[in-house]
Structure 1
Amino acid sequence: MISPGKNDEVRMTNDEGSSNDQMTKQFLKRAHHHSDFVIPSGFGIRDSALPSRLIATDADLSELLKRIEAADRVGIDIEADSLHSYREKLCLLQISVPTVAGIVDAGSDLGPASHSRDHPPSRSYGGTSQSRLQYDVIVDPLADLDLEPLRQALESREIVLHGSDYDLRMLRRGLNFVAHKIFDTLIAARLLGIREFSLAALVKRYFGLELPKGSQKANWAKRPLPARMAEYAINDARYLLPLAEKLEAELDSYQRRDWLRQSCQRAIEQAAMARVRKNDESWRVPGSGSLKGPTAAVLRALWQWREREAERADRPPFHILQNEKLLHAAISFASGDVADYKHFSPRRRQAFREAARIGLATPESEWPILRRRFGTRPTTETVRCTEELRRRRDKSADKLGLEPSFIAPRGTLEAVAADGTRAISLLVPWQRELLGIS
């Protein structure tokens, strides 16, 4: 994949200057021998050969809304800054909208981009006599936009996503958007027994194209957005619609479309549920289960210090101090040693040591209680039932070419065996049917 130079940035403005003109020529020159090169033209670069654009003004958003209202299905991918801020936020919203373009000969699955200065960017795909033009854009949620009309427009559309859980949760948090119908390409692929089901693997499988990977951990709140990141973002969304069509056709041939509907509906329900963790347990980082008395008290105090520092700096807690080092520091302080880290500023070092002092001074009556997780020994009947469910699952998986754990993981089998009433909440109808649960 062609990557722009480290100084090549696309500014979020409609101003056209000589630097942008020069940069456009450079990108077009690099892209000449790479038919899949993408760079969002709406990020300040305007050229009829560039196939994508940024929505950062109400006028551009208005055009997008018209296209969404004319479509039944919309492809969506999102980018957030969970690796770079204390409270993650929605940073980019990549949207692909299909528009029927008439009866023509679609010679390939993903044809070349097609648009002009007077018509929004689009891309043809299909493989049948009816070609579709796809409108690919990036919406900037960090811009001064009223996104309520977008939320309303999307509510009545089928949303195509890949691995919907995180995206649906972020869309709910960032747009107050709750989907009514989705097509999750990851679930669809697994229902077909496909073992390599990442988006990159599926695009490679169905279209023979390699998606770039370089911006996976990038800071998506960065403005202006580097061109390589814009390219990465739009490519994650632009293949969703044609991929859904491919998977949909295969699901129909296996008569599993209704299975997808059931699983996608469950995904919507689960994403709408708030994930709540007890505040008094949040400090228990991995590896802390065996800590006792003052050591646990110090760890709790250091964890609380780290949360305050992270919020103050608007950085993820691990940017302040990783869990492993936090655990090591608690053990060191409780043993009479002093933990220190070179990257701490004098102020942060002082606050760090003060937190440890407070933890050490915690009265014994306020020490955290050691919580060991001892599982209840299953009854003979539960063990027998679990094994019977496992046998049915594995038999169905072998017959249908599905992964056994996708039909039902071991933990779910054990939970249902112990309490049959949980089958409805843990399994969708097609899963219960394959397990012989009425």
Structure 2
Amino acid sequence: MAVDHYISVDELIGALPSGDGRVGLDLEADSLYRYAERICLVQVCYGKEVKLIDPLAEESLDPLVDWLGSARIWMHGADYDMTLMLGEWKMVPPMLYDTQIAAQLLGHQRFGYASLVEQYFGVELSKSSQKADWGKRPLSSKMLEYACNDVRYLLPLAHEVEAKLKELGRYEWFLESCEAAQTRVKKREGEEKEAWRISGSGRLQPTGLRFLRAVWNWRDGEAAAWNRPSFMVATNKQLIAWATDLAEGREINLPPKLRPDRSQRLGAAIKEAEGIPESEWPVRPKRVRQRYDETFEKRLKELMENRNQIAENLGIDPSIVASRGVLEQIIAGRVDPADILLKWQLSLLEL
């Protein structure tokens, strides 16, 4: 029974390997069901053991967080998990290795966890609980089994991909790539954001941007008060449509099930935005427009062909070596190659 895998933090700490021992880790959160997302389940595997920690129980996770600071942790597709850990635990394990990064460096075209488990071990994992509400209690046996399977094959998979990386001489690439992934997440979390600048906002003029900011802030407040994800109040597509209509002087189409009190607060937010002086309207981000002359195009073609040949020889996706966008920035002289590429990428491209 998966429920038997539950363990207290103190029991887990006492059982975990010390020193250079490998540990697999996964997290489940409730971002699809709550405004303030939480880590709702911690799955840990070591040796042949799979254990579950309930972060929503009245038990401090501090000993586990402290232990993670000196452990060798394997995860799969850890970008979101690292964001969760930074937000809730204020840390990311410094020795964190990602089997998804390893799979990409090995040239796997299907590098999702379930796909890799099937490729390496012939086991087909269920994805039925992927979007489940992990914040509810008790968790069903089906969800618990899904959670256990999310780490059950992680260490065997790590063993396989690590051996292949070393055999191909790409292990140092892997280590550098994992470190760079951590750096990106930490940098992203530390940046100041204008969260209301959602996809599609770049097409709006300042008059539309003031309305977009207003309706986004209204939605955010409603979602926070309701403790539900913001898309349950209104989608990004709706916000863009409203901002566009308001900027052009048209009435907006409200969802038929929008509560009267919410509708009133939306109206107040729009009215307030209408009164904002033009000098205080948000501005459109300045975009650097590169003029692609014949010399630029020739150099880009040369670099792309070189990159593609390198990738073909290695059996990996060309974007893993360098994306087109990165190469364009380098040729345009907007960045130093050493500031945007990893050492192994620079070496391959001879930049």
RMSD: 2.2
Give, in angstroms, the shift of residue 151 of structure 1: 1.7
Among 131, 135, 141, the alignment partner of 1:227 is 141
SS of 2:6's equivalent in the other structure is: strand
Give, in angstroms, the shift of residue 340 of structure 1: 2.2
Gap change, CA 1:424 and 1:370, over 3 Å in 2: closer
Among 249, 256, 266, the alignment partner of 1:342 is 256
Among 8, 14, 21, the alignment partner of 1:72 is 21
The answer to whether the aligner puts 1:251 opposite 2:165 as a matched pair is yes
Q: Which residue of 1 aligns with 2:340?
A: 426
Aligned partners of 1:85 and 1:315 also within 8 Å: yes
Gap change, CA 1:267 and 1:393, over 3 Å in 2: same
TM-score (norm 2): 0.91
Q: Which residue of 1 aligns with 2:195?
A: 282
Among 41, 58, 65, the alignment partner of 2:3 is 41
Mapped to 1, the partners of 2:134 and 2:93 lie a distance apart of 24
- Greater relative contact order, per chain length (Cα 8 Å cut-off, separation 6+): 2
Mapped to 1, the partners of 2:92 and 2:281 lie a distance apart of 42
What do the CA deviations read for 1:271-304 (whole angstroms, capped 9, x no partner)?
332435655x432332233333544332221111
Paired letter, 2:176? Q
Among 104, 124, 130, the alignment partner of 1:216 is 130
Mapped to 1, the partners of 2:183 and 2:197 lie a distance apart of 28
Equivalences, count: 349
Q: Which residue of 2 aligns with 1:93?
A: 42
Among 295, 309, 322, the alignment partner of 1:408 is 322
After TM superposition, the structure 1 = structure 2 runs for residues 117-196 of structure 1, keeping only pairs within 5 Å, are 134-196=48-110
After TM superposition, the structure 1 = structure 2 runs for residues 375-414 of structure 1, keeping only pairs within 5 Å, are 375-378=289-292, 382-414=296-328
Q: Which runs of 5 or more structure 1 residues have no equivalent in the other structure? A: 1-38, 43-52, 99-133
Residue identity (%): 38
After TM superposition, the structure 1 = structure 2 runs for residues 309-328 of structure 1, keeping only pairs within 5 Å, are 309-328=222-241
Mapped to 1, the partners of 2:334 and 2:192 lie a distance apart of 28
Larger Rg: 1
The answer to whether the aligner puts 1:306 opposite 2:258 as a matched pair is no
Gap change, CA 1:172 and 1:291, over 3 Å in 2: closer
SS of 2:49's equivalent in the other structure is: strand
SS of 2:96's equivalent in the other structure is: strand
The answer to whether the aligner puts 1:81 opposite 2:33 as a matched pair is no
Mapped to 2, the partners of 1:312 and 1:400 lie a distance apart of 52
Mapped to 2, the partners of 1:264 and 1:374 lie a distance apart of 30
Q: Which residue of 1 aligns with 2:10?
A: 62
Q: Which residue of 2 aligns with 1:329?
A: 242
Give, in angstroms, the shift of residue 434 of structure 1: 0.9
Give, in angstroms, the shift of residue 367 of structure 1: 2.9
Aligned partners of 1:332 and 1:339 also within 8 Å: no
Q: Which residue of 2 aligns with 1:128?
A: none
Give, in angstroms, the shift of residue 245 of structure 1: 0.8
Among 267, 291, 295, the alignment partner of 2:204 is 291
Q: Which residue of 2 aligns with 1:30?
A: none
Paired letter, 2:94? H
Paired letter, 1:41? V
TM-score (norm 1): 0.74
Mapped to 1, the partners of 2:179 and 2:192 lie a distance apart of 28
Q: Which runs of 5 or more structure 2 residues have no equivalent in the other structure? A: none
Q: Which residue of 2 aligns with 1:9?
A: none
What do the CA deviations read for 1:154-181 (whole angstroms, capped 9, x no partner)?
2222111111222122123222332222
Structure with greater helix percent: 2
Paired letter, 1:406? I
Mapped to 1, the partners of 2:62 and 2:286 lie a distance apart of 47
